[in-house]
Structure 1
Amino acid sequence: MKLNPDRIRIFEGNIVKMKVDAIVNAANNTLLGGGGVDGAIHMAAGPGLLEECRALKGCPTGEAKITKGYLLPAKYVIHTVGPVWQDGREGEDEFLASCYRKSLELAKEHKIKTIAFPAISTGAYGFPSERAARIAVIQIKEFLQKNELPDVVLLVCYNKETCKSIKKALDGNL
């Protein structure tokens, strides 16, 4: 199946405000909230999210779990735990690739049509932005070429620099 380029879009802004079926949370292993996008999602979703996450009893790096979206515009939150950057010698690339694959598999399983991803692991976890963008785009393109769902994947950038990296990756320049 040939990939329609309109299925992957870049959006600069705040992921918690996205009106999509699911947003992806760049979570930590506890799933109990933290800094960056994780803290913002937990704050915007309200206490119900924390309660449901407690019942999930954490998540290993490279895996993903799904919850309701609670007070968010999104119906679901897919929590995935990206790797902490260790100079690329500890399997970080594969863990990050797995985050995207596992999140997309959950989206397909739950018949999610629109999903928004942050730049997983590029904040406090220190993953190099261009390298992360390349991995994200490769995984998303490969998944969408083989699957009808999700219909649209939004790559949400918190800043212009991240958007530039993702655009370069989408254009095949990374």
Structure 2
Amino acid sequence: EFLQSLDDRKRFAETVTVVAGDIQSVKDIDGQPLDGIAFPTNPHLTNHHVGAAAAVFARAGHGLDEFIRDPSFRGARPVGSVVVTPAFDTGVGKLIHCIGPSIHMENCYELLRATYRRALEAMEREGLQCVVMASISTGSLGIPSEEGGRVAMRAIQEFLVGTGWRGKLAVVCKEEHVLRAFTAGESAVLGSFNVIPRLPVYDQWLH
């Protein structure tokens, strides 16, 4: 069990990276071309022209807008779910649209963990091997970046330990405070890999 844990920790360190950058322009991870992009969006998947979703829509071109606006594709998706679509002009194979929670939702951190988990499962199901991901719910939805980073890295750790996926996954952070928080979350996982930390607790009196 101890040796397995060392192997899992090594695989996490080799697989996961946190980088500064803009999801609109990232093309590779350590020289390996991207084949997937995972990013936060709203339940209707529409372009609200803010955040990471706006960057992905700009990268994808008009094809993604037209695809999302098609009447056969309309409707709200539940929080915690993900939707895979063609990637159009992004230069990758698939887009994974992630509907994350608001800080004001009950069990928001459990929902955030579930959103990451489903994005990772979709990545594996689609056969993707090199994926860039933007942080989920740390913008207008109000999840603090520190807690968001811890939840994200915990979800990634659990996914990698429970599967045989051996690709490349980069969390790209445009804002400096998000970069610091997710780097700290990554370091915390590597520093105590055998300890699965509890999820943060939302205190409504602090928000």
Q: What residue is the counterpart of 2:112 in the other structure?
A: 96
Secondary structure of 2:132's counterpart equals strand
Distance 1:9 1:115 in 2: 11
Q: How many Å apart are 1:160 and its aligned residue?
A: 1.9
Structure 1 unaligned spans of 5+: none
Identity of aligned residues (%): 26
The alignment's C-alpha RMSD in Å is 1.7
Change in Cα spacing, 1:103 to 1:56, as seen in structure 2 (3 Å) is: farther
Q: What residue is the counterpart of 1:158 in the other structure?
A: 174
1:135-174 aligned within 5 A: 135-149=151-165, 151-172=167-188
Secondary structure of 1:16's counterpart equals coil
1:51 aligns to 2:66 (yes or no): yes
Q: How many Å apart are 1:150 and its aligned residue?
A: 5.3
1:27 aligns to 2:57 (yes or no): no
- How many residues in Structure 1 have an aligned counterpart in Structure 2? 172
Tell me which structure has the larger Cα radius of gyration.
Answer: 2
Secondary structure of 1:90's counterpart equals coil
Amino acid at match of 2:65: L
Q: How many Å apart are 1:133 and its aligned residue?
A: 0.3
| TM-score, length-scaled by structure 2 | 0.78
Q: Decide whether the 8 Å contact of 1:84 with 1:125 is kept in 2.
A: yes
Secondary structure of 1:71's counterpart equals helix
Change in Cα spacing, 1:150 to 1:28, as seen in structure 2 (3 Å) is: farther
Match of 2:24 among 8, 11, 16: 16
Change in Cα spacing, 1:92 to 1:18, as seen in structure 2 (3 Å) is: same
Amino acid at match of 2:100: G
